[in-house]
């Protein structure tokens, strides 16, 4: 399943993330890709904020650019947020422990293209890109693989995200 969306502004990117957040379960990977400044961190923060709010918590959501991984206890499961931008070898990737997290936690991975062979078959890939000639708009291409994403079209409709 592949869906293309136009996100008019930062608020639209955040709406998309908040729409997907409640449906994610342990074993789900949201694999974010796109250039610098395309909205990966904005998306991840909005999704994490929404999941934490569902548990009655509010926290600052730091970028894991330097720590590489941040984890959040959601009560019924753990959410891992990883940023792979600074990784350069498969050994560095293996040291993060993502393999175990992929099966037991909800995972959001920025710069997911760097997962290479370790990317699970079951994932929701989201490619964010700048739209030419528009300072704030982005495109988002969602590609679900591995099954279990049947809820995606309904979640997008509820959020007012209409495929382009």
Q: Where are the domains of the chain?
A: 2-158
Per-residue pLDDT reduced to its tens digit, 107-157: 999 999 999 888 999 999 999 999 887 778 899 999 999 988 999 998 888
Q: What was the pLDDT predicted at 142?
A: 96
pTM of the model: 0.92
**CATH 3.40.50.300 applies to domain 2-158:** yes
Q: What was the pLDDT predicted at 127?
A: 98
* Main-chain phi, psi angles of 49, to 5 degrees: -60, -40
For residues 119 and 14, what is the distance between their CA atoms, to the nearest angstrom? 25
Mean pLDDT of 50-77: 87
For residues 81 and 64, what is the distance between their CA atoms, to the nearest angstrom? 7
Q: Which of 12-16, 153-157, 159-163 has the lowest mean pLDDT?
A: 159-163
Q: What was the pLDDT predicted at 164?
A: 59
For residues 35 and 87, what is the distance between their CA atoms, to the nearest angstrom? 16
Name the CA dihedral angle for 14, 140, 130, 107, rounded to a multiple of 10 degrees.
60
């Amino acid at each position: 399943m592949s869906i293309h969306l136009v996100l008019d502004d930062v608020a639209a990117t955040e709406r998309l993330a908040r729409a997907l957040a409640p449906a994610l379960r342990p074993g789900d990977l949201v694999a974010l890709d796109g250039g610098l400044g395309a909205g990966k961190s904005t998306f991840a923060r909005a999704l994490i904020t929404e999941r934490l709010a569902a548990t009655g918590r509010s926290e600052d959501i730091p970028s894991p650019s330097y720590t590489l991984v941040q984890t959040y206890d959601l009560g019924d499961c753990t959410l891992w947020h990883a940023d792979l931008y600074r990784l350069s070898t498969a050994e560095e990737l293996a040291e993060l422990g993502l393999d175990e997290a992929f099966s037991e936690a909800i995972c959001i991975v920025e710069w997911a293209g760097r997962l290479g062979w370790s990317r699970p078959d079951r994932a929701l890939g989201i490619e964010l890109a700048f739209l030419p000639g528009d300072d704030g708009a982005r495109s988002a291409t969602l590609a679900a693989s591995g099954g279990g994403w049947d809820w995606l079209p309904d979640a997008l409709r509820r959020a007012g995200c209409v495929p382009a």
